[in-house]
Amino acid sequence: MTSSTSDDRPMKSGRAAKGDDEADPFTQIEIPHEEISFLNRSQNYCICFIDMVTSTKITAEISDPAKIRSYYSMFLNATATIAKGFNAKIIKNIGDALVFYFPDTSDPTNRSAFVDVINCCTSLMGARDIINIKLHTMDLPSVSYRISADYGRVEIASSTTSKQEDFFGPTMSLCAKINSRAEVNGIVFGGDLYTILKALSLDQQHQFKEIRDYSLEQKHAYPVYALIGKTRSLSESSLLGSKTLIEKTPRSKTASTADNRNNMQEVSSKRNSRTIMLVDDNEDILLTYKSFLSGEGYKVEVFSDPEEALQQFAKVHESYYALIILDIRMPYMNGLQLYNRLKTINKSVNIVFISALDAADELVSLIEGIKPEHVIKKPVNRENFMHAVKSNIINA
């Protein structure tokens, strides 16, 4: 019998005959074009990637799936919280990386928006010690990461499965690629972002080191800049003993004598001490809060430079300060970093934060033992400020 049914028909080689594609299962697949829908809308934004380093190797050595989930969750949620505190919006997480953008950077002349970008990146890196302390309390290993940021046009799309808009385009790809150019626990900015920072004179306030990456496909010899730290101007204090922006209140001869006698005459408790340290990089804020405190009879030592504040703290008796007030958002060393270093010297030191950040509570919640009453929200008037100060001293 020479005829055969379609079920036992021999497979043909070569090009299929006309009509054969009707039986090809791959041609029967209908692609749902509405799954990802581009919105015919594009915009220039600053994009940022924060990517964990060697997390695959680290988690491969963790046998408990619940601990693996906690490891990623702790990192992603902590960094997302910090980013939101600097007016960033989360785009998505890709494996062990978090991607976010800064909506206000759509205007390249909006200086404060780009200040947020820099401060966000440095705060994210500065929070590493706090994140790792939190991980260690959960019996989890430390985390390291790289941060990259760049500026440019993105294409905006939406998905039927998510209300969150997604971004596509060369800026996204480039920002992801330059991430590997950062040192471990380092920050890099793409050339297009650096050009804007330079136009806004922000390159004068921070130290950058240029790196040239010739392997990028999108732009030949695209410059990449490592963010090294804050530039110290002549008006700022230095570690060589120059004066702070605002002079510290001179110490009395009695206090100096007490120092020379190994602080034997210092007050024996923080509650009885009347000395407060105030650390903020804003000169006007230092003047304002110093006047509040001095008017109530407190001795105030103010510092615009966190490093100098740290050096001074290491020199005095552990009960010398009744309270230390730290701004969260400071360049070079932020309040979270300074808090961790102060606590390393003296675990019992009484510290509160003052901040205008919307996410301040969430930020400090990363720190063990910090409660909402340990955060003073800006703007604050004299009455509320002094009430918060006195409450924290009494309850220490």
CA dist., res. 100 & res. 93, Å (int): 9
Higher pLDDT pick, 275 / 20: 275
Lowest mean pLDDT among 155-159, 194-198, 277-281, 346-350: 155-159
Give residue 279's pLDDT band: very low, low, confident or very high (50, 70, 90): very high
Cβ(393)–Cβ(352) below 8 Å:
no
Host H or E run for residue 246: none
In the predicted model, what is the mean pLDDT of residues 22-40?
57
User: For residue range 238-248, what is the model confidence (pLDDT) as tens digits?
Assistant: 332 333 343 44
pLDDT of residue 39: 53
Q: What is the mean pLDDT of the chain?
A: 79
Q: Among 260, 254, 264, which Cα is nearest to 299's?
A: 254
Q: How confident is the model at residue 224 (pLDDT cuts 50, 70, 90)?
A: very high
Task: Give the residue range(s) of CATH 3.30.70.1230 domains in the chain.
Answer: 38-230
Quote the CA–CA distance of 153 and 235 in Å, as a whole number. Answer: 38
Which residue did the predictor score with more confidence, 134 or 109? 109
pLDDT, residue 166, reads: 78
Where, residue-wise, is CATH 3.40.50.2300 in the chain? 253-394
Decide which of 3.30.70.1230, 3.40.50.150, 3.40.30.10, 2.60.40.1170 is the CATH code for 38-230.
3.30.70.1230
More confident residue, 23 or 388: 388
Q: How far is CA 218 from CA 43, 94, 214, 287, in A?
A: 19, 21, 10, 49
pLDDT at 163: 64
In degrees, rounded to 5, the angle at the alpha carbon of residue 380 between the alpha carbons of residues 376 and 381 is 135
Q: How confident is the model at residue 266 (pLDDT cuts 50, 70, 90)?
A: very low
Give the dihedral of Cα atoms 362, 367, 373, 378; nearest 10 deg: -50
Q: Which fold has domain 253-394?
A: Rossmann fold (3.40.50)
Partners of 376 in the β-ladder: 354
d(CA 330, CA 355): 10
What whole-number distance in Å separates Cα of residue 255 and Cα of residue 268?
14
The answer to which of 45-49, 166-170, 249-253, 333-337 has the lowest mean pLDDT is 249-253
For the chain, the first-to-last Cα distance in angstroms comes to 99
Q: Quick one: pLDDT at residue 35?
A: 56
Three-class DSSP labels, 215-229 = CCCCCCCEEEEEEEE
Q: Is the pTM of this model over 0.75?
A: no
Beta-bridge partner residues of 300: 276
Q: Which pLDDT score, from 0 to 100, does residue 29 have?
A: 59
